[in-house]
Amino acid sequence: MGWFQRNTEGIKTKSAEKKEIPEGAWYKCPSCKTVVSAQDHEDALWVCGYCDHHERIGSTEYFALLFDKGKCRSLAPKMISEDPLEFVDTKSYPDRLMEAKKKTGLNDALRVASGELEGI
């Protein structure tokens, strides 16, 4: 779906002249539908400047926000969830864990890190 609508019929743009916008270059607020550049959205700390909608961010973005640059390290990054209670549901718990791991790329729902905040 294009962002622009032609007012005059018959205007043709050569394929070589068409420019593609890279995926992820723009952010559309799910609340007010305002579109801003992804970089501006990140610079605003993932808060919409028009309606104050707070976007969910992952632990990687949160740690980058919280800790000084390059001063963060994960504790127990290889920790893996298990099913000691043998939880029963409509879908098996190990299947849920595998699905979540594929979706997030993380081994566990919890990440713990230590680092410096403003040099401390």
Longest dimension (CA), the chain: 67
List the beta bridge partners of residue 27.
36
Share of the chain above pLDDT 70, in %: 85
Residue 1 in this model has a pLDDT that exceeds 60 = no
Q: What is the pLDDT of residue 42?
A: 93
User: Residues 47-94: pLDDT tens digits?
Assistant: 999 999 999 998 889 999 999 998 999 998 888 888 888 888 898 888
**Residue 4's pLDDT band (cuts 50, 70, 90):** low
CA distance 77 to 66: 18
Task: Write the single-letter amino acid at 99.
Answer: E
pTM: 0.65
Q: What is the pLDDT of residue 22?
A: 79
Q: What is the pLDDT of residue 68?
A: 93
Per domain, the residue ranges of the chain are 23-56, 68-115
Residue 9, Cβ density class (10 Å: 0-12 exposed, 13-18 middle, ≥19 buried): exposed
Higher-confidence residue: 78 or 5?
78
Residues 6+ apart with CB under 8 A from 98: none
User: Residues 37-47: pLDDT tens digits?
Assistant: 999 999 999 99
